Structure 1
Amino acid sequence: MKEHELVSAVREGGRIDTPEHAERAIKATLTVLGQRLAGEQSHDLASQVPPRLAEALPAEGGGEAFGLEEFYRRVAQKEGTEQRQARQHARAVIAAVKASVNPGLFEHLVTQLPAEYDDLLGTQPVQH
């Protein structure tokens, strides 16, 4: 998926008003995901997303063990939004990333996340 397609998918899925805000949401989510993933998974993911957006991912994942609420809190802080919106945006980012990367890579990433992350990985729109 090209950068503008990924940004557009996140903008639509996350109900985000501008492409710039969608980019912030993507970078915030990828940064926090990179902190959560261990080893080279972050690098592998970076190799399959558009280069300018991949810059948000660390070369090697930190493997930090934090829960889903902390994930959303960190995304909100990096994105500069409320946690409720960060959840909606992060879910849109993950759905767009899932659609754009190798399915085997995505499934491997998912195995690193505990069951509570199912909310993040869900593909249904967030209802408020």
Structure 2
Amino acid sequence: MTHDEFLARVAERAGLSGPEEASRVARAVLGVVGERLGRRAVLRLAEDLPGPLEGMLRNDGPGQDFDEDALYARVAGREHVRPGFAVEHTGVVCQALAEALSEGALHRLHEDLPGPLGALFTPREVRERFEYVHVEATHHSLAEGHPGSQHPLSASRLERAHTHSVVRSDNPHGDTKLSSASGLTQEREHSSLSSASGLTQERQHSTLATGHPGARLARGDDED
């Protein structure tokens, strides 16, 4: 990570106006962190840091022993801001610094700053990306089964099908096919015509045998 990239992250995450303000905030925070670490610990981090950042951390004296609250108080004093801003700025700068370090350097830093102070130096978690898995289709038609199926319809076991299943028939829906000699529609039409014809004949027979409807005497009972 370059010095400019570091300042850009600090400015964006802390809502600062630009790199100049980010530099001022980073200098205040890292200066206090350097006081806590001491010269030897800072030199161990120098190899992973750009020159300007290493210079912000540099402390020629031994490390001072103070806790997290004292760290925030010192940052607020250097920045001349309220404690709330000091807490926010410290978190952002320490997080960005952790992202600039290698795993080995970050591990050493956590050893030098155990507990809550070390927890400040935790890189921001990268969001997990969705992994798109492409499945190569081996079958492309209904008769071959759905794409990727290893058990096509044509290879299904007939004995497992229920009694009226179409897979048990050699010619499923044969009675309704247009190619059938006598389709279901033809049978219904023929049945309807036969029924209508028979009904007409019965009515005619009934009329001739008994006279027209409303007649007082049937034709067979006509008086001589």
- TM, length-normalised to structure 2: 0.50
Unaligned 5+ residue runs, structure 2?
125-224
Residues 11 and 85 of structure 1, relative CA distance in 2, 3 Å threshold: same
The one-letter code matched in structure 2 to 1:14 is A
Instruction: Give the Å deviation of 1:54.
Output: 2.1
Aligned mates of 1:113, 1:67 — CA distance in 2 = 10
Find the counterpart in structure 1 of residue 78 from structure 2: 78
Answer yes or no: is the 8 Å Cα contact 2:38–2:62 preserved in 1: yes
Residues 60 and 46 of structure 1, relative CA distance in 2, 3 Å threshold: farther
Residues 81 and 46 of structure 1, relative CA distance in 2, 3 Å threshold: farther
- The 10-residue stretch of structure 1 (57-66 or 70-79) with the greater mean CA deviation from structure 2: 57-66
Answer yes or no: is the 8 Å Cα contact 1:14–1:91 preserved in 2: no
Question: How many residues are aligned here?
Answer: 124
Q: Is 2:57 aligned against 1:54?
A: no
Identify the structure with the greater helix proportion.
1
Identity %: 29
Find the counterpart in structure 2 of residue 87 from structure 1: 87
Find the counterpart in structure 2 of residue 66 from structure 1: 66
Find the counterpart in structure 2 of residue 37 from structure 1: 37
Answer yes or no: is the 8 Å Cα contact 1:25–1:86 preserved in 2: no
Answer yes or no: is the 8 Å Cα contact 2:41–2:112 preserved in 1: no
Aligned mates of 2:110, 2:98 — CA distance in 1 = 10
Instruction: Write out aligned runs for 1:110-125 (5 A).
Output: 110-117=110-117, 120-121=120-121
Instruction: Give the Å deviation of 1:122.
Output: 5.1
Aligned mates of 2:81, 2:119 — CA distance in 1 = 19
Answer yes or no: is the 8 Å Cα contact 2:110–2:118 preserved in 1: no
- TM, length-normalised to structure 1: 0.83
Aligned mates of 1:7, 1:20 — CA distance in 2 = 8
Q: Quick check: which has more Rg, 1 or 2?
A: 2
Unaligned 5+ residue runs, structure 1?
none
More relative contact order, 1 or 2 (CA 8 Å, 6+ apart): 1
Answer yes or no: is the 8 Å Cα contact 1:7–1:22 preserved in 2: yes
